[in-house]
Amino acid sequence: MSRGVDLDGAAVVVTGASSGIGRAAAQRFAGRGANVVLAARGGPSLDAAAAECRAAGARAVAVPTDVADSEAVEALARRAVTAFGRIDVWVNAAAVMAYGAIGEVPVDVQRRIIEVNLLGTMQGARAALPVLKRQGRGVIINIASLYAKMTSPYVSAYATSKFGIVGFSEVLRQELKQDRGIHVCTILPGSIDTPIFRHAANYTGRTIKPVPPVSSPTRVARAVVRCAEHPRREVTVGQLHHLGSWGHALLPRTYSELAPLAMRFVALGKQPAPADDGNVFTPQPDLDAVRGGWPNRAARAAVGVGAVVAAAGALGALRRAVERAP
């Protein structure tokens, strides 16, 4: 296993730190003795997240930052070095999301999702790398998604951005082949109980919710911290959703027939909802927290996954039989 960072006294930058996975990761780093620089668009939730880290005994600095602004991300890196003299770990966790068919989601919303999720990750790595190279070591951790391994209707820009993060991370590893002390890790969470589903822009006309089973953000935070200490190329969080990615790879045509049904009947609620751009352009600090308040219906989800797998197998067998028929 690769040698990473000793977190006691380490300097860790976390973007998207006001809510969800970013906030959970910042808390966990603080609890392990790291100094933490928390970045998000600002407001009371970012200050509250920094206060939580200080309460855990860490030195913490809150830096209002829009990761879509390259100059702001460069300033974030400088602020981290000014505060703690170095950067040992940089976590790219900032993300926004939208639900809706491709023709229903406004172009400026689609563009903003790519700018925050994908370009924000690229700009974070770009800002951190000069510091890591001077030091000769460090870890960059990019939060992607299992949507980077499988597809789903109604989240086109989000899924595209996450596919891009996986590709970017691989390119970055290739470029850093000679910098053996610098590691690039990619985390692929499934459905996680964070506020992103309440924050998400919504143009479906119905309420939205995560596809169960819903995992705890603390599980993702543990994976992030483990990667900082013992870097791994890719880590998946949410094994039942991982089964879906296998189905996508093994039976792509069958998966494509089932995915729209799963989204319509599981991810979209029954209540009508007006079009709303969520927090894509403007923060919603009242909704910011580590958890989103989504119950974990693991048992029901396991039954549902079993049914989907069985249906996929049946459809696959039927298709093969038809293709073999004279």
> DSSP 3-state assignment of 186?
strand
Residue pair 139/227 in contact (Cβ under 8 Å)? The answer is yes
Q: How far apart are CA 8 and CA 13, in angstroms?
A: 14
Give the number of other CB atoms < 10 A from CB of residue 211.
18
* Marked catalytic residue, from 99, 147, 154, 158: 158
Q: How far apart are CA 242 and CA 149, in angstroms?
A: 9
CB proximity list for 139: less than 8 A, separation 6 or greater: 4, 5, 88, 89, 90, 182, 183, 184, 185, 227, 228, 231
Q: How far apart are CA 155 and CA 16, in angstroms?
A: 20
Handedness of CA 241, 243, 245, 248 (dihedral sign): negative
- Sequential DSSP letters for 39-50: EES-SHHHHHHH
| 158 noted as active-site residue | yes
List the one residue out of 32, 15, 22, 108 whose CA is nearest residue 70. 15
Task: Give the residue numbers annotated as catalytic, written as ranges.
Answer: 158
